[in-house]
Amino acid sequence: MPLQYSAAKTSIASKRNSLSKSPIKKFQKDAKKLLPSQKLYNQNLTNNIKKTGSPSPPVSPSKKDDREKLEVKDYNIQLDYQINSGNDDIIVAIDTVLQNRWSDETYLHDKFDLNYLKKLELEERIFKIKGLSNVTRSDIIKYRTQVIPNGLITTTQLYSIFSKQGHTFVDKLLELNIRKGSIRKFIISNASPIISRSLNNFQSSKVTYGFENVELVVKNNVFYDQINKTLISLDTTDPKELEKKQVLTKFFNFIKQNPTNLFVSSGEFTNAEISTLVQMGYITLNSNHFNEIENNFAISFPNCGIFLKLINEGRVWLVKCLNKTKHKELLEDEIFNKWSGKVNSSYNQNNPQLGFDVLKLNNFKKPFFGYDLNWVLADALGAGIIEVFNTPVGRGWRLTGKV
């Protein structure tokens, strides 16, 4: 009887639970709400043919948006996080993402007026942020210290940092550093949701679903530290734990000797060893969405599914935000206001005409836990979901039609 493999505990536990827990399934459910349903499309199309004799795009009922299309000044953009064109250090780029990914610790802006807290430790910093409940504060600390894996970024974020140099430039830098052993790349199959839509008519565009692979990057020393941390946690007095330690040690030696390998096969590890590594989250069964590929397993990072969920949640939020506008575009300041929940209160005891801005800190609540908007925009820009341009009144962002 062929050996059956169960998914890692750190990723999707089983197909039985995948419908409710998978970030991909959740994305599908949310994405269906973005555009008119196929049933409405067909109904409107049929009614229009009866009236006019020719088909035309249906119109989805929505709130009237009379804003004019943003004036494009140019596309010569210098984003806050972009590295100077003369600097081609990919490690610096990775550190830029990691050191600025949370809104309360980023040095790229101070839109939340939290710069005075940046030198404090995480727990002290979070509990000094006004406007958050103690439950939310505790959730943030737990998420960042115990839940989300540290050190992972997407290649799409790197594409955005080096957007002027191009994707090929980034791919070459990555390959060079992978061969040097300073970076490890992971390919997680079918992890990126996409929606193909018409560029000319957003209201009538047909929604289709497919899943692309996601490329994740981590510095090798971070990956090695993670493996060592797991090895130390195993109790060698327990025979089962000792066996796990022996398997993981063999895997550790393998990846150090093969820095460019993205996959392992049953030729390198026994079926029992592969099962152990899958359960520990260091490899995952490769697939092409419809079928699992026998004897082909992708090297992975434990709990990377949680990080991918954060990325996908950011994409869903951004698409919904831009899709609600007439021209599928907004100024960056407007996007930030929606991301943070910034509103203007018109009430003032001394002068009712003078309003004041209130930050609701929406992005500090579940599912973002303080994730910074810069990296939602960077991921979406690098993935081709949005484009950025200068206007006379600031940067603008527009959907391109690919999600």
How confident is the model over 352-373, as pLDDT tens digits? 444 457 789 999 999 999 999 9
Six-digit token string for 322: 């831009």
pLDDT-derived band at 25, boundaries 50, 70, 90: low
Mean pLDDT of the chain: 81
In a domain, 5, yes or no: no
Q: To which H or E segment does residue 401 belong?
A: none
Q: Does the pLDDT of residue 173 top 80, yes or no?
A: yes
Q: Does the pLDDT of residue 49 top 60, yes or no?
A: no
In a domain, 195, yes or no: yes
- pLDDT, greater one: 361 or 293: 361
Q: Does the pLDDT of residue 34 top 80, yes or no?
A: no
Alpha carbons 24 and 144: distance in angstroms, whole number: 22
Mean pLDDT of 17-46: 53
Q: What is the pLDDT of residue 213?
A: 81
Which residue, among 138, 108, 118, 112, has the nearest Cα to 365 in the 3D structure?
A: 138
- How many structural domains does the chain have? 1
In a domain, 366, yes or no: yes
Q: Does the pLDDT of residue 210 top 80, yes or no?
A: no
In a domain, 21, yes or no: no
pLDDT-derived band at 23, boundaries 50, 70, 90: low
Q: Does the pLDDT of residue 198 top 70, yes or no?
A: no
Share of the chain above pLDDT 90, in %: 60
Mean pLDDT of 321-348: 87
| Residue in the block written with tokens 């949680």 | 306
In a domain, 334, yes or no: yes
- pLDDT, greater one: 294 or 175: 175
Question: How do beta strands 153-154 and 394-399 pair?
Answer: unpaired
Alpha carbons 168 and 153: distance in angstroms, whole number: 18
Q: Does the pLDDT of residue 151 top 60, yes or no?
A: yes
In a domain, 138, yes or no: yes
CA-CA distances (angstroms) from residue 236 to 139, 240, 250, 272?
Answer: 33, 8, 16, 19
- pLDDT, greater one: 83 or 68: 68
In a domain, 124, yes or no: yes
Alpha carbons 155 and 90: distance in angstroms, whole number: 11
Cα dihedral: 343, 357, 359, 393 (round 10): 70
Alpha carbons 69 and 329: distance in angstroms, whole number: 8
Q: Does the pLDDT of residue 293 top 70, yes or no?
A: no
Mean pLDDT of 161-190: 92
Q: What is the pLDDT of residue 366?
A: 95
Mean pLDDT of 323-342: 94
In a domain, 378, yes or no: yes
Q: Does the pLDDT of residue 155 top 90, yes or no?
A: yes
- pLDDT, greater one: 288 or 304: 304
Q: Does the pLDDT of residue 328 top 70, yes or no?
A: yes
Q: Does the pLDDT of residue 26 top 90, yes or no?
A: no
Its domain, for residue 369, covers 90-259+298-399
Q: What is the pLDDT of residue 22?
A: 55
Alpha carbons 373 and 112: distance in angstroms, whole number: 12
SS3 content of the chain, % helix, strand, coil (to 5): 40, 15, 40
